[in-house]
Structure 1
Amino acid sequence: MSVKNLEQRLSEFRERGYTIFEGAYDAGQMQAWKDCYEDMVRRNTPRDAPEPRLRVTSALEQEPWLMLPAVNNQAILDFAERVMGPFIQLDNLTFMAFPSEPREQAEGTVSFWHRDRWGWMPDGPQYIRPTACNAICYLQDLTDEYGPLRVVEGSHRRAVTIESEAHRTLPHPDETVLRVKAGDVVFTHCSLLHSGTPNTSGKPRYFFSTYYNRVGLPTRDNHKGPSVQRIVEMARARNDRRLMRLFGVDDAIEPRANALFLRPDEEMWDKWIAEDRAALSQ
Structure 2
Amino acid sequence: MKENTIPRISPDEIIDFMNIDPTDFESFTLAQRIRHFEVEGYVMLPNVLNPKHITELKQELTNTCMSPKPYSEYQTTSDEQPQWISNAVAELIGHPPVTDFLAELMGPDIVFTRGFFQRTHPGSPGISMHTDGQPHGSSIFDYEGSSPRLLRVLYYLDDLTPERAPLRLIPRSHISFHAHASPYVRYKSHPQEITLCAKAGSAIIIPSTLFHATHPNTDSSPRELIQFGYRPAWAGPIKPMEEWDPKLIANAPEQAKPFLQSLNTTGGVWGLEHKPKGMKTEATGIDPSRWNN
Residue 260 of structure 2: aligned partner: 247
Verify: 1:184 aligned to 2:205, yes or no: no
TM-score normalised by length of structure 2: 0.66
What is the Cα deviation at residue 101 of structure 1? 1.0
Do 1:130 and 1:190's aligned partners in 2 also have CA atoms closer than 8 Å? no
Verify: 1:139 aligned to 2:161, yes or no: no
Do 1:130 and 1:189's aligned partners in 2 also have CA atoms closer than 8 Å? no
Gaps of 5+ in 1: 46-50, 121-128, 270-282
2:247 pairs, out of 203, 226, 232, with: 226
1:115 pairs, out of 118, 125, 131, with: 131
Verify: 1:213 aligned to 2:231, yes or no: yes
Of the structure 1 ranges 86-95 and 214-223, higher mean CA displacement relative to structure 2 is found in 214-223
Q: Deviations over 1:45-67 (max 9, x none)?
A: 9xxxxx9994123211222x211
Taking the aligned partners of 1:166 and 1:199, their CA distance within structure 2 comes to 24
Taking the aligned partners of 1:84 and 1:178, their CA distance within structure 2 comes to 24
* Number of residue-to-residue matches in the alignment: 234
Verify: 1:263 aligned to 2:280, yes or no: yes
Of the structure 1 ranges 215-224 and 71-80, higher mean CA displacement relative to structure 2 is found in 215-224
Residues 1:244 and 1:173: Cα distance change in structure 2 (over 3 Å): same
Taking the aligned partners of 1:52 and 1:100, their CA distance within structure 2 comes to 7
What's the Cα RMSD here? 4.0
Residue 10 of structure 1: aligned partner: 34
The amino acid of 1:21's aligned partner reads L
Instruction: Report the identity percentage.
Output: 19
Verify: 1:26 aligned to 2:50, yes or no: yes
The amino acid of 1:7's aligned partner reads A
Do 2:82 and 2:90's aligned partners in 1 also have CA atoms closer than 8 Å? no
Do 2:131 and 2:208's aligned partners in 1 also have CA atoms closer than 8 Å? yes
What is the Cα deviation at residue 177 of structure 1? 0.8
The amino acid of 1:153's aligned partner reads P
Residues 1:72 and 1:221: Cα distance change in structure 2 (over 3 Å): farther
What is the Cα deviation at residue 112 of structure 1? 0.5
Verify: 1:40 aligned to 2:64, yes or no: yes
The amino acid of 2:85's aligned partner reads Q
What is the Cα deviation at residue 34 of structure 1? 1.7
Residues 1:119 and 1:152: Cα distance change in structure 2 (over 3 Å): farther
Q: SS state of the match for residue 219, structure 2?
A: coil
1:49-68 map, 5 Å: 54-56=76-78, 57-63=80-86, 65-68=87-90
Do 1:88 and 1:215's aligned partners in 2 also have CA atoms closer than 8 Å? yes
What is the Cα deviation at residue 265 of structure 1? 7.2
What is the Cα deviation at residue 167 of structure 1? 7.1
The amino acid of 1:224's aligned partner reads D
Q: Deviations over 1:234-276 (max 9, x none)?
A: 74xxxx7xx43411169x987x9x996833674489xxxxxxx
Q: SS state of the match for residue 226, structure 1?
A: helix
The amino acid of 1:79's aligned partner reads F
The amino acid of 2:104's aligned partner reads R
Residues 1:260 and 1:201: Cα distance change in structure 2 (over 3 Å): farther
TM-score normalised by length of structure 1: 0.69
